[in-house]
Amino acid sequence: MENVTPNVFTHTRLRGSNPSFVVTSDGVVAIDTPQLPSRAVEWRRTAESHGPIRYLINTEHHVDHIFGNYYFKGAGTVVNHLGLWERFMVPGPEIDPFDYAHEALPADDPAGEAIFPARDEYYRDPNKGSIVFTGDITIRVGDHTFNLLHTPGHTPGQTTVHVPEERAAFTGDTLFSGCQTWLMTSDVDQWVAALDRIRTLDVDWLVPGHGPVVTKGYLDVQRAHLLGWKSAVADAVAKGWSRAETVARVNFADEFGPVDIGQEYMLEYIQTWNAGALWDKLTGSPPGGGMPRPPDPRDPANAKAA
């Protein structure tokens, strides 16, 4: 766990997103939850050691930001953008988020198996938002202000949490700091606009969805990665490359790597997914044509190096 400011805590070294919380004069506000069950239980205990959790805000619908909500039942009111709430743990053509959460356990949280719910039990109450908003909203807790800004691009319901008193903002995966960017459900043009909006905030610290805490200078790096992907695939389309040719030849594994902690085995999958998704968008093709299932970490071929 790291202190960003005396009241802002985050953890950037877990498999999954960077769960965070802010301590106010009237309790704690949590932002995202650990994907791994044991880490979620521990993180809740740590946050509650600073006071009762008043609100839990999620920044996006991807499993690594929301699955741990299940272990935060009864810990404050969950707040979700409508675009997030509608997609909360909904299986898609490429990934079943429930299976994906489960697949992480053998390698990263074997003890979590004992508290991993059955599918039916999980979906009865995954602890989605009970405050569901569109646009932006502001929540006041104690002496702190939480401006929830709709910053779509990485996902449709993407939310940035700006806490002016701490001169900090939590961006979710609008920022991948020092690691590969996942473009799967993204609109790159919206995403670049989201970076521009975050640039207008008067903050010292940006807590990304993945990787180390950064300053606003990193917005330019993220922008360069997004535009690098988009222009490379646009060039491929202009040359008349097929989807398969584009996926085979457009690759930023060496330039924009590594993958965030615990998901190293996804490196090539991210390349094919990013290139394929952009090709679909730029050619107006239906999404996900012929994409492979992601590699399963339980397959010995994907075993981590010791």
Q: Does 173 bind Zn ion (CB under 5 A)?
A: yes
Tokens of 199: 């640039």
The stretch among 15-23, 38-46, 113-121, 189-197 that binds Zn ion (CB under 5 A) is: 15-23
The torsion angles phi and psi of 236, rounded to 5 degrees, stand at: -60, -45
The stretch among 192-200, 201-209, 246-254, 276-284 that binds Zn ion (CB under 5 A) is: 201-209
Smallest separation (angstroms) from Zn ion to the CB of 201: 20
> Nearer Cβ to Zn ion, position 108 or 173?
173
> Nearer Cβ to Zn ion, position 109 or 173?
173
Smallest separation (angstroms) from Zn ion to the CB of 62: 5
Distances in Å between the Cα of 196 and the Cα atoms of 31, 152, 223, 297 are: 22, 12, 9, 36
Q: Kindly tell me the sign of the dihedral angle through the C-alpha atoms of 304, 154, 209, 176.
A: positive
The stretch among 11-19, 123-131, 265-273, 298-306 that binds Zn ion (CB under 5 A) is: 11-19
Smallest separation (angstroms) from Zn ion to the CB of 61: 10
Smallest separation (angstroms) from Zn ion to the CB of 60: 7
Smallest separation (angstroms) from Zn ion to the CB of 33: 12
Of 32, 66, 48, 35, nearest to 207 by C-alpha is 32
Residues in the chain: 306
Q: Does 263 bind Zn ion (CB under 5 A)?
A: no
Distance between CA atoms of residues 109 and 130, nearest Å: 29
Paired with 160 in beta bridges are 149
Count of beta carbons in the 10 Å neighbourhood of residue 224: 11
Q: Are 247 and 279 in contact (CB under 8 A)?
A: yes
Smallest separation (angstroms) from Zn ion to the CB of 59: 8
Q: Does 17 bind Zn ion (CB under 5 A)?
A: yes
Ranges within 18-77 binding Zn ion (CB under 5 A): 62, 64
Tokens of 61: 């619908």
> Nearer Cβ to Zn ion, position 17 or 246?
17
> Nearer Cβ to Zn ion, position 241 or 252?
252
Smallest separation (angstroms) from Zn ion to the CB of 114: 25
Q: Are 181 and 230 in contact (CB under 8 A)?
A: no
Q: Which of 112, 129, 209, 211 binds Zn ion (CB under 5 A)?
A: 209
Size of site (CB under 5 A) for Zn ion:
5
> Nearer Cβ to Zn ion, position 210 or 230?
210
**CB within 8 A of 178, min separation 6: which ones?**
211, 212
Distance between CA atoms of residues 265 and 144, nearest Å: 40
Q: Provide the residue type at 107 as one letter.
A: A
Ranges within 67-86 binding Zn ion (CB under 5 A): none
Q: State the residues that interact with Zn ion by CB under 5 A.
A: 17, 62, 64, 173, 209
